[in-house]
Amino acid sequence: MKTCFEWFAALERHPRLNPGLRVLMAILGGYGVAWLGAAALTGLPSASKSDAVTLAMMLTFLLYLVNVLWIFATATLLRAALGLAIPAALFGGWLHFAT
Amino acid sequence: MSLIADFLILALTLIGFAALSASMNRHAKQISNRSSHIASPGIRRLRLMVGWHLLALALYPAIKTYGISIGIAVWIGFLAISATAIALLLSYRPKMLRPVFAVTVTSSFIAGLALTVFARSP
Amino acid sequence: MRFDQARSMRLSMSWLHTWSGLVLGWLLFAIFVTGTLSFFRNEITFWMQPELHRVKTNGLALSRAQEILEQEAADSPMWIITLPGARNPTLGLAWRADAPRPVAKTTHSRRGGEARGENYGNRHEGGEGRPQFEKNNASASAAGNTTSSRPGMKRLTLDPATGEALTARETAGGDFLYRFHFELYGLEPGWGRWIVGIATMFMLVAIVSGVIVHRNIFKDFFTFRTGKGKRSWLDAHNASSVFSLPFHLIITFSGLLLLGNLLLPSAVQSAFQGDSRAYMQSVRGGNTPVTPPSGERAPLTDLSALLAFTEQVWNGQPIGSITVNHPGDRRATVELRAANMDSLMGGRGAARILRFDGVSGQTLDMPAVAPPSIVQSVWNIQVMLHRGFFASPVPRWLLFLAGVGGSLMIATGLVMWSIARAKAREKLSFGHRLVDVLNVAGIAGLLIAIGAHFWANRLIPADLAHRGDWEIKVFFIAWSASCIHALLRKRKTAWIEQLVCAGALIAALPILNALTGGLSLPGSVEQGRWLLAGFDICALAIGGGLLFAAHKVMLHTPKFRVTKAASAIDTESKLSFPDFAQLQTEEPA
């Protein structure tokens, strides 16, 4: 357990890996969350199906932006990862149970 | 017709931004003849109010000429031009700001009159 | 700055802003510049066809146009006649050669076929090729003969006064720059758009992070300190970004939306269960449905009479186009479309339309089109702004100026990064050298390529086969040459030489125009051809600006002051990170 923590701490301190991981999380992870989000948000109430798609796309791009900002602004890598995992779980759950 | 309206939008935003810049000490010093001039807070607030109100007033000819959606877009576009003009004047020719201001105020009065007069005629 | 230490939001955003801007900055500059030019793509295309410059518009040979169409396009299901207007003085005819098919935006194979091969240079369309309301703004001038320009549409350009067919040189015109703007060139279909889409997301992150970083957005609004090196560049970057900030945000976000179906197909998949055809039709649900033909022949009514009637009813509002559905059939309909759009909210179909029965000439009631929903309006406003679907020149020019501001924003940002880290006599790191080379090639080099493209348009013989493709090749050859030049020369000399080259090429365009058969600047001003004159005037202004910039670079002597604090930051990591917060809050001397 202790070495696990140490390993994570070393990861955080690494001057290249820390931002590097955040970049990967932002680009790939963020895209994954956006993918799920776009699908899930079409479930929001709207006038027509194409409106649902448009609304979903608009909201998703905004959420992706906020996601990216979060990943870089937040203090630790763990929080950054949570910033991906929680929306992914929410959207994934919505998709799974609502459709 | 729309040329006069366009000019009016430009003029109003120009005056508005000039007033807004004058409300900041940093730029008021650039404009004023006395380099150590610091305007009283009352004057500064007046310029601030006048500036914002003129910017908002410029919306009226924009929307009247172009409709709401295009009008707002045109207004924003003119805001960019006026802001650039004032910023450049402040940096390169701060002494020119007063005469430019005076000329713009007079011509916008004339333009405003012209618009109202022509709008009334059938 | 280190991510594992305590840091403020501004510092994180500053890091993010720098990197998201830097990594794809040169590509974003190219996208922005070609996009800004695309607002005037019809005018650019017109400039690039000097044979058409002298067309006079005193008169409208509509009956001759109708005759020609009845001869050539008797079996066509749709005709479109684009009337001469401010943006194009020619009379344009277009007709479908075969039955209409649904045009899907995501039919990549078709896009790929268009993007390369002989069709590209020959093709000339005003937009994605949908023969609909876009034709209000689209140029109808094309390859002068009736060769098929893209699957389904044939075109012909007429002199509006005499009705005779005009031949103009084959050129992609402004459409090359337009297509480059969102799908680059020569790449597999979809890849270009993906790259542009990714770049757009980077841009959005850069803009928003930049706004967060810029703490004193109001206090520093007019701050422009001249002659202070890094600070002046920062002020220039701030000014060009902040003054047109609403525009930059809307353009970037709407750009994402326009590519949204490609970037996030899961939305359509989820809502329509993968049926993208149904999605396309749903999006165009607000359009007037076309009644199917009856099969019985009946002569088409006189279009000139319909035109006169419409002009009277609309009280002088300019008419953009005439669309005839199923000409020669008993159920033919004629739609006359206004040239101007009253509002952005209604989307592409918002122009006024008057509909007539094609045989009797009676007006028909327009089927009620539901007003757009809020979501649709928001989408429409953004997309209409992005695509510059205005008829009036003032909003279009304002958009153009904002685009210039955006291009300056990117350019100043890129140069500022390089300058902020420049040190005297120290060997540049690989990354720094890479950025320097990309800066020259991406900024000055792109402008050289554009200038060379227009020069090629005039110098390549008008009757050479596939000359449109050659113009494009010259664009890329010039750009490659500038890349190589940037690699070989030192930074300052590279900048000076390329800026002078670009400035000279572009500023000389009006002279080239006059010497190679186009309507010269005095001539176009005299005849009131303002949009043609506008091209020449802009060329002079931009070319002059570039030469002026070269002059300034030549005079510049860098002052390197390495303060103790700065050197302490530098020792931490190879690519040091100056704190822009400190630079910003200084008062001007």
pLDDT, tens only, C15-60? 999 999 999 999 999 999 999 999 999 899 999 998 888 887 777 8
Provide the pLDDT for residue C440.
Answer: 95
Q: Cβ of B56: how many Cβ atoms within 10 Å?
A: 12
Provide the pLDDT for residue C314.
Answer: 83
Provide the pLDDT for residue C287.
Answer: 53
Please give the average per-residue pLDDT across C460-477, as a whole number. 90
Query: Between C9, C16, C264, which is nearest A38 by CB?
Result: C264
Confidence of residue C139 (pLDDT cuts 50, 70, 90): very low
How many domains is chain A built from? 1
Same domain, C308 and C425: no
Give the closest-approach CA distance of C202 to chain A in angstroms. Answer: 9
Helix or strand or coil: residue C226? coil
Provide the pLDDT for residue C155.
Answer: 83
How many domains is chain C built from? 2
Provide the pLDDT for residue C571.
Answer: 40
The residues on C that touch A, with CB distances below 8 Å, are 2-4, 6, 9, 12-13, 15-16, 19, 201, 204-205, 208-209, 212, 253, 256-257, 260-261, 264, 266-272, 279, 282-283, 285, 373, 375-376, 378-379, 573
List the structure tokens of C154.
């044939």
> Which residues face B13 on adjacent strands?
none
Given a contact cutoff of 8 angstroms between Cβ atoms, the answer to whether C126 and C42 are in contact is yes
Same domain, C459 and C566: yes
| Residue C229 included in any domain | yes
Provide the pLDDT for residue C11.
Answer: 92
- Supply the range of the domain harboring residue B15: 2-120
Across the interface, whether the CB atoms of C379 and A54 are under 8 A apart is answered yes
Integer Cα distance of C383 and A56 in angstroms:
16
Indicate whether C306 pLDDT > 90: no
Please tell me the number of Cα atoms within 13 Å of A90 on its side-chain side.
Answer: 11
Rounded mean pLDDT of chain A?
90
∠C100-C102-C103 over CA atoms, to 5°?
105
Integer Cα distance of C455 and C508 in angstroms:
9
Same domain, C13 and C36: yes
Indicate whether C107 pLDDT > 90: no
Confidence of residue C129 (pLDDT cuts 50, 70, 90): very low
Across the interface, whether the CB atoms of C395 and B87 are under 8 A apart is answered no
Rounded mean pLDDT of chain C?
80
A90 shares contact with chain C (CB less than 8 Å): no
Sheet holding C91-96, edge to edge: C153-158, C91-96, C78-82, C319-325, C333-338, C353-357, C363-364
Rounded mean pLDDT of chain B?
88
C118 CB-near residues (< 8 Å, 6+ apart)? C466, C469
C243 shares contact with chain B (CB less than 8 Å): yes
Integer Cα distance of C101 and C90 in angstroms:
28
List the structure tokens of B25.
């000490």
Same domain, C426 and C553: yes
Same domain, C143 and C213: no
Report the residue of B24, B44, B69, B82 to disrupt the C interface, i.e. the one with the largest count of C CBs within 10 Å. B69
Same domain, C563 and C451: yes
Per mean pLDDT, which range of C313-322, C476-485, C574-583 is the poorest?
C574-583
Indicate whether C13 pLDDT > 90: yes
Please give the average per-residue pLDDT across A19-44, as a whole number. 94
Same domain, C423 and C349: no
Provide the pLDDT for residue C576.
Answer: 38
Integer Cα distance of C69 and C79 in angstroms:
8
Same domain, C431 and C355: no
Across the interface, whether the CB atoms of C285 and A40 are under 8 A apart is answered no
| Residue C278 included in any domain | no
Based on C-alpha coordinates, what's the Rg of chain B? Answer: 15
Which residues of C are less than 8 Å from B71 in CB distance?
A: none
- Supply the range of the domain harboring residue A8: 2-98
Indicate whether B75 pLDDT > 90: yes
How many domains is chain B built from? 1
Across the interface, whether the CB atoms of A61 and C257 are under 8 A apart is answered yes
Same domain, C525 and C426: yes
Please give the average per-residue pLDDT across C258-273, as a whole number. 89
Integer Cα distance of C248 and B43 in angstroms:
34
Integer Cα distance of C536 and C530 in angstroms:
10
Provide the pLDDT for residue C150.
Answer: 46
Indicate whether A25 pLDDT > 90: yes
Please give the average per-residue pLDDT across C124-153, as a whole number. 35
Provide the pLDDT for residue C283.
Answer: 67
Given a contact cutoff of 8 angstroms between Cβ atoms, the answer to whether C485 and C498 are in contact is yes
Same domain, C418 and C531: yes
Which residues of C are less than 8 Å from B62 in CB distance?
A: none
Please give the average per-residue pLDDT across C226-232, as a whole number. 83
Query: Between C219, C239, C342, which is nearest B87 by CB?
Result: C239
- Supply the range of the domain harboring residue C121: 56-165+288-368
